[in-house]
Structure 1
Amino acid sequence: MSAPPIDIPDEELRELRVATGNRYTVMKRLGSGGMAHVYLAKHAVLARPLVIKVLHRTLAQEPEMRERFRREAEAAARLIHPFICAIADMGTAGDIEYLAMPYYAGGSLADMLSRRKTVSANAAASIAVQVACALDYAHRHGVVHRDIKPDNILFDEDGNVALTDFGIATARFHGRLTASGRAMGTPHYMSPEQAMGKLVDGRSDLYAVGLLLYEMLLGHPPFDGEDSYAVGYKHVHEAPVAPDQVDTRIPAGLSAITMKCLSKQAVDRYDRGFELADALVAFLGQVPGAELRAARSSRPSGLTPF
Structure 2
Amino acid sequence: MSGLTMLHRALDPEAPAGSGPVVLKRLLPELSMDRAVVEEFLDLASLSACLQHPNVVRVLDFGEVEGKPFLVREWVEGKDLGQVQHMSQRQGLPTLPEPIAVSIGIDICQGLQPAHQQVGLLHGELIPSNVLMGYGGEVKLIEFGFNRWTLREAWSKARMFSGKLMYFAPEQLLKEPVDGRADVYVLGLLLYKLLCGTLPMKCDSEFEIFNQVLEGQLVPARQHNPFLDTDLVRILERALARSVDDRYPSAEAMGQALADWLKADTPEFSADTRKQWMASLYPERA
TM, length-normalised to structure 1: 0.77
Residue number in structure 1 paired with 2:12: 43
CA contact (8 A) 1:260 1:269 kept: yes
Q: Whole-Å Cα distance in 2 between the matches of residues 86 and 243 of structure 1?
A: 34
Given residue 120 of structure 1, which amino acid in structure 2 is its aligned partner? P
The separation in 2 between residues aligned to 1:227 and 1:64, in whole angstroms, is 33
1:1-306 residue pairs with structure 2 within 5 A? 33-44=2-13, 45-46=15-16, 47-94=19-66, 96-117=68-89, 118-141=95-118, 142-169=120-147, 178=153, 186-223=164-201, 225-288=203-266, 296=274, 299-301=277-279
**Most deviating of 143-152 and 56-65:** 56-65
Instruction: Give me the whole-angstrom Cα distance separating, in 1, the residues matched to 2:31 and 2:86.
Output: 28
Pair 224,91 (structure 1): closer, same or farther in 2 beyond 3 Å: farther
8 Å Cα contact 1:73-1:167 kept in structure 2: no
Task: Kindly provide the CA deviation profile for residues 46-94 of structure 1, in whole angstroms up to 9, marking residues without a partner as x.
Answer: 2232111122223323344434432431221122222111211113234
Tell me, what secondary structure is at the counterpart of 1:37?
Answer: strand
Mapped partners of 1:249, 1:180: distance in 2: 39
Cα RMSD between the aligned structures?
3.1
Contact 1:38 1:53 in 2 (8 A): yes
Q: Deviations over 1:171-213 (max 9, x none)?
A: xxx8996379889984111111111111111111100110000
Choose 221-230 or 199-208, whichever is displaced more.
221-230
- Cα deviation for residue 115 of structure 1 reads 2.0
Q: Is the 8 A contact 1:50 1:101 kept in 2?
A: yes
1:122-163 deviation per Cα after TM superposition (whole angstroms, max 9, x unaligned): 111000001112212111122222111111111234211111
Distance between the aligned counterparts of 2:228 and 2:267, measured in 1? 18
Aligned length: 269
**Which residue of structure 2 aligns with residue 4 of structure 1?**
none
Give 1:89's aligned amino acid: D
Matched to 1:40, the amino acid is R
Higher RCO by CA contacts (8 Å cutoff, separation 6 or greater): 2
Name the TM-score, length of structure 2 as normaliser: 0.82
Structure 2 partner of 1:18: none
* Conservation of the 8 A alpha-carbon contact between 1:144 and 1:205: yes
CA distance in 2: counterparts of 1:130 and 1:263, whole angstroms: 21
For 1:296 and 1:226, the matched residues in 2 are separated by 34
Q: Distance in 2 between matches of 1:278 and 1:43?
A: 39
Closer, same or farther: CA 301–169 of 1 in aligned 2, 3 Å: farther
Gaps of 5+ in 2: 90-94, 282-286
Structure 1 gaps, min length 5 = 1-31
